[in-house]
Amino acid sequence: MESAYAIVKYLHIAIGAAALIGYWTAGLARKGSVLHRRAGQVFLLAMTGIVITAVPMTLYALHRGNANTAAFLGYLIVITATGTWTSWRAIVDKRDVRRYTGAVFTALAALSIASGAAMLALGTKIGAPLLIGFSAVGLYIGFDMLRKRRRREQLAARPRWWLVEHYTAMIGNGIAVHIAFLGIGLPRLLPMVDGAMLHYLAWFGPLVTAIGAKLWADRRWGRAATAKPAPDNTVPRPEAARVNTEVA
């Protein structure tokens, strides 16, 4: 079992490196360009691989008796899978908001709330500020998704609503990738830089940065995506067209 776990772990690390490269390539490329789309596809495929390989790693932690670690890894699987799915489906279902907010969307929302509540309870029980703080991520994601499902007609009325959904989820995916690198990978690569301050900075730094990125993206693209289109005064009303025909 140890050798099998080692294979899965190193595969997980390799896929994570690919995800990090794909994320920044897509992020720095011109939006809508071929490079942006292809790098984004590589990133989402890598994120899918991360979720898949994280499952046996979680089960292994549980097998070793590390129940708290397994619970937290399971929580990360839920919120990472949610972000990966929504960022992908927002593009695929951009013309069908009902399909986007369907059964899978609702199930992921419920799982996010349940896992977030479980992390809040566990963190409170064992006195872990990290678990308590990160429980808010799953709770917010889940309740926000349920709110969107209830108001999906209003969501569909917004031009390019799918764009906001896409980049919001991708920013969330970026949190997962950078936390994994800074909080888990970097201390193992460079043990001399590990410490309590770096530990919390690695976990909460990407979260704070993502909030700023979300605010910036909303100012640049969100307003255009949620604003109502201006009326086109150059198109004659049907009544006017009929009058003109009769006069002619």
Contact 145, 105 (CB under 8 A): yes
Q: For residue 193, what pLDDT is reported?
A: 55
Name the token pair of 192: 């001399």
Closest CA to 74 of 88, 85, 60: 60
Per-residue pLDDT of the chain (248 residues; tens, 9 = 90+): 778 888 998 898 889 889 989 988 988 888 889 999 999 999 999 999 999 999 999 999 999 999 998 999 999 999 999 999 999 999 999 999 999 999 999 999 999 999 999 999 999 999 998 889 889 999 999 999 999 999 999 999 988 899 999 988 988 888 888 777 776 655 555 555 555 666 667 767 777 777 777 777 777 766 554 444 444 444 444 443 443 434 33
Dihedral, CA of residue 57, residue 60, residue 65 and residue 70, to nearest 10: 30
CA distances (Å), 51 to each of 74, 105, 112, 123, 171, in order? 10, 17, 15, 23, 17
Q: How far apart are CA 109 and CA 115, in angstroms?
A: 10
Q: For residue 198, what pLDDT is reported?
A: 64
Q: For residue 233, what pLDDT is reported?
A: 42
Q: What one-letter code names the amino acid at 131?
A: L
Tens of pLDDT, residues 154-205? 999 988 899 999 988 988 888 888 777 776 655 555 555 555 666 667 767 7
Closest CA to 101 of 110, 91, 87, 90: 90
Q: How far apart are CA 58 and CA 75, in angstroms?
A: 10
**Domain boundary assignment for the chain:** 2-247
Q: For residue 219, what pLDDT is reported?
A: 78
Q: How far apart are CA 150 and CA 135, in angstroms?
A: 23
What pTM, to 2 d.p., does this model score? 0.78
Name the token pair of 62: 């549980």
Contact 67, 131 (CB under 8 A): no
